[in-house]
Amino acid sequence: MSGKNRKDIKPGITVMVVKKEDQKTGKLTKGIVQSLLTNSATHPHGIKVKLEDGTVGRVQEILE
């Protein structure tokens, strides 16, 4: 499932995000969502989240 819809993403789920510095390469980082940072219902590049380890990125894929 893609990470473009805010309703699909909740704290505690495992996701793959792309960090700002990795957007050119497309390198993904796996983590557990701590909080959602995007307020709009959808975003074309993925909903921005903060992971439990402090990483901030846009959700590219929802794993659970």
pLDDT tens for the 64 residues of the chain, in order = 889 999 999 999 999 999 999 999 999 999 999 999 999 999 999 999 999 999 999 999 999 7
Residue 1 lies in a domain: no
29: domain range?
6-62
Q: Is 46 exposed, middle or buried (0-12, 13-18, 19+ CB in 10 A)?
A: buried
Residue 30 lies in a domain: yes
Residue 2 pLDDT: 87
Residue 54 lies in a domain: yes
Give the predicted TM-score (pTM) of the model.
0.92
With the C-alpha atoms ordered 55, 60, 62, 63, is the resulting torsion angle positive or negative?
Answer: negative
Residue 48 lies in a domain: yes
Residue 52 lies in a domain: yes
Tell how strand 14-19 and strand 56-62 pair up: antiparallel
Q: CATH code at 53?
A: 2.30.30
**How many domains is the chain partitioned into structurally?**
1
